[in-house]
Amino acid sequence: MVDLNILKMLFTSKRLPNTALFIIIIFSLSGCMPLIVGGTVGTAGYVAMRDKNIGESLNDTKIETTIQSRLYKTSPDFFSNVSVSSDNGCVLLTGIVEKEEWIAIAEKEAWNVRGVNVVDNNIISGKILGINTIMKDAAITSNARTCLLMNKNIRSVNYKIKTVGGIIYLRGAARTRAEIDSAINSVRRVRGVKKVVSYVNIMN
Q: For the chain, what is the mean pLDDT? A: 79
Which structural domains are found in the chain, ordered by start? 4-42 (no CATH), 54-125 (3.30.1340.30), 131-202 (3.30.1340)
pTM for this model (two decimals): 0.65
Nearest Cα residue to 184 out of 142, 138, 151, 137: 151
- Report pLDDT digits (tens) over 34-60: 433 333 333 332 233 345 567 677 899
Number of alpha helices (DSSP H) and beta strands (DSSP E) in the chain: 7, 8
Pick the closest to residue 158 from 176, 139, 140, 136 (CA basis).
Answer: 176
Asked whether residue 126 carries a pLDDT value surpassing 90, the answer given is no
Q: How far apart are CA 75 and CA 188, in angstroms?
A: 34
Those residues with Cβ within 8 angstroms of residue 101's Cβ, 6 or more apart along the chain or in another chain = none
Please state, in angstroms and rounded to a whole number, the distance separating the CA atoms of residues 32 and 48: 18
56 vs 178: which has the higher pLDDT: 178
Phi, psi (rounded to 5 degrees) for 178: -65, -35
